[in-house]
Amino acid sequence: QGSHPISGMDSVVAAVSGYYGSERFNLIKLINETGANYVGTLTRTTSHL
């Protein structure tokens, strides 16, 4: 299984809140596989939480 980026997702800057451990890891993995950008902390550049 390889990642298959989704067109347009390269402009998404996503953060994850309220998830810990393996659930958080899996969400971050999914974010990256779509072609979006994961950031560890919420900033003004974050477009999706």
How many domains does one find in the chain? 1
- On whether the CB atoms of residues 7 and 32 are closer than 8 A, the answer is no
CATH number, domain at 11? 3.40.50.10190
Q: What is the pLDDT of residue 2?
A: 64
Model confidence pLDDT, tens digit, residues 1-22: 566 889 999 999 999 999 999 9
Contact at 8 Å (CB) between 15 and 39?
yes
Structure tokens that stand for 31 in this block? 């974010």
Distance CA 28, CA 33 (A): 9
pLDDT for 4: 81
* Structure tokens, 7: 């067109």
17-47 tens-digit pLDDT? 999 999 999 999 999 999 999 999 999 999 9
Structural domain of residue 38, as residue ranges?
1-49
**Closest CA relative to residue 16, chosen from 37, 42, 35:** 42
Query: According to the model, what pLDDT value does residue 41 have?
Result: 92
